[in-house]
Copies of this chain bind each other. A is one copy, B any other.
Amino acid sequence: MHRCALWSLPFLVLPLTSLADPLPSWNDSASKTAILDFVAAVTDPTSDSYVPEPDRIAVFDNDGTLWSEQPLYFQLAYALDMVRQKAEADPAILTSDALRAAAAGDIAALRETGREGMLEVVSLSHANITPEAFRASVHGWLTTTEHPTTGLTYAEMTYQPMVELLRYLRDEDFSTYIVSGGTLDFMRAIAEEAYGIPPAQVIGSIVNLSYSVEDGVPTLTKQPGLFFVDRTGDKPVGIMNHIGQRPIFAAGNSDADFEMVDWVTAGEGARFGMFIHHTDAERETAYDRGSPIGALDVVLDEAEGRGWVLVDMAKDWSRVWSATP
């Protein structure tokens, strides 16, 4: 974050950014230029758009923005795997249509059980465990389970251009936060390693958590049910509760991020709103309007009028995955 020692002496600072491209996996494009111009403006003390460091806050959706969400949210894939594993050990746990569909990996049948069914699956796979043990389980799963179509592990399917963008913003003294529908512990299992984002800068949905003393030991235990669901209009709410101020930079990829980006870019002064448009059928999946996952309808209609940047994944990114092929 800080360039320390000799590098901070003005007369010794080399114009590093002109020597090395901070976003090497971004093709020269309007998107890349817009990012670089925005960062240059808000970090230039002589600019009218200058923003002091404590206010340089950037928020990123996770699924479909920082890593893939196809053909299934990674967290849902994890949950189904956990229900299947638990059912193999004890079939009697499959007490509902939702749980039977989950154990069978039958997404269509699971979808029919609605929000209630999804909550059952989350509760069975995410509860009665400490946050630490849950994160260890998730970390192991993400780093060893092979994704069904790419042959990469799930952890390798972060977007390299976005990892570069996060690092670039932090190098320019931004604080970078995840603001996602995924739950806190699921993301915290990998966020530091994958994105350089520490646990305290992860905002997400919140699984119920309880405090108790077990054999004299103060213990936190994840419980069934959700305390907070972090999507659409609740993203600004979650940000305000957690960060306490309005960010100046927001990136998403679906209509569930509309309110967050709208609120961020409606603030005074220089603001940046960005959506990843999944146009890349070859390297990932092409989807937008009407997609059951990551639908992009309203945003496609509104982005231009609101001055938001639509990143064309197929054209703007020279490389997709963080993993080297």
Closest residue on chain B to residue A199 by CB atoms: B244
Which of A76-84, A206-214, A280-288 forms contacts with chain B? A206-214
Known: A211-B263, A218-B259. A5 touches B5 (CB 8 A): yes
> Of B4, B202, B209, B243, which one neighbours A4 at CB under 8 angstroms?
B4
Which of A96-104, A136-144, A229-237 forms contacts with chain B? A229-237
CB distance from A232 to the nearest CB of B (A): 8
Is A9 an interface residue, CB under 8 A from the partner? yes
Is A8 an interface residue, CB under 8 A from the partner? yes
> Of B188, B218, B240, which one neighbours A209 at CB under 8 angstroms?
B240
Is A324 an interface residue, CB under 8 A from the partner? no
Known: A218-B262, A218-B266. A244 touches B210 (CB 8 A): no
> Of B131, B243, B263, which one neighbours A218 at CB under 8 angstroms?
B263
Interface residues of A in 6-22 (CB under 8 A from B): 6, 8-9
Please give the count of copies of this chain that the complex contains. Answer: 2
> Of B220, B233, B262, which one neighbours A240 at CB under 8 angstroms?
B220
- Residue pair B200, A241 in contact (C-beta under 8 Å): no
Q: Give the docked Cα–Cα distance between A241 and B262 (Å).
A: 26
Q: Give the docked Cα–Cα distance between A218 and B233 (Å).
A: 9
Is A89 an interface residue, CB under 8 A from the partner? no
Is A184 an interface residue, CB under 8 A from the partner? yes
- Residue pair B236, A266 in contact (C-beta under 8 Å): no
- Residue pair B236, A218 in contact (C-beta under 8 Å): yes
- Residue pair A211, B184 in contact (C-beta under 8 Å): no
Is A29 an interface residue, CB under 8 A from the partner? no
Give the residues in chain B near A217, CB-CB below 8 Å.
266
Q: Give the docked Cα–Cα distance between A175 and B220 (Å).
A: 22
> Of B188, B236, B243, which one neighbours A199 at CB under 8 angstroms?
B243
Is A111 an interface residue, CB under 8 A from the partner? no
> Of B198, B209, B236, B237, which one neighbours A237 at CB under 8 angstroms?
B209
Closest residue on chain B to residue A263 by CB atoms: B218
Q: Give the docked Cα–Cα distance between A138 and B262 (Å).
A: 28
Is A315 an interface residue, CB under 8 A from the partner? no
- Residue pair A240, B8 in contact (C-beta under 8 Å): no
Closest residue on chain B to residue A210 by CB atoms: B237
Q: Give the docked Cα–Cα distance between A202 and B6 (Å).
A: 34
A–B Cβ pairs within 8 angstroms, 9 of them: A5-B8, A175-B200, A199-B244, A211-B233, A217-B266, A220-B236, A220-B237, A220-B263, A227-B241
| 8 further A-B pairs in the complex, CB-CB below 8 A; given A5-B6, A200-B200, A220-B236 | A4-B8, A5-B8, A5-B9, A6-B9, A175-B200, A199-B243, A206-B241, A209-B241
Q: 9 closest pairs, A vs B, by CB?
A: A199-B244, A211-B233, A218-B263, A200-B243, A4-B8, A5-B8, A4-B4, A209-B237, A2-B2
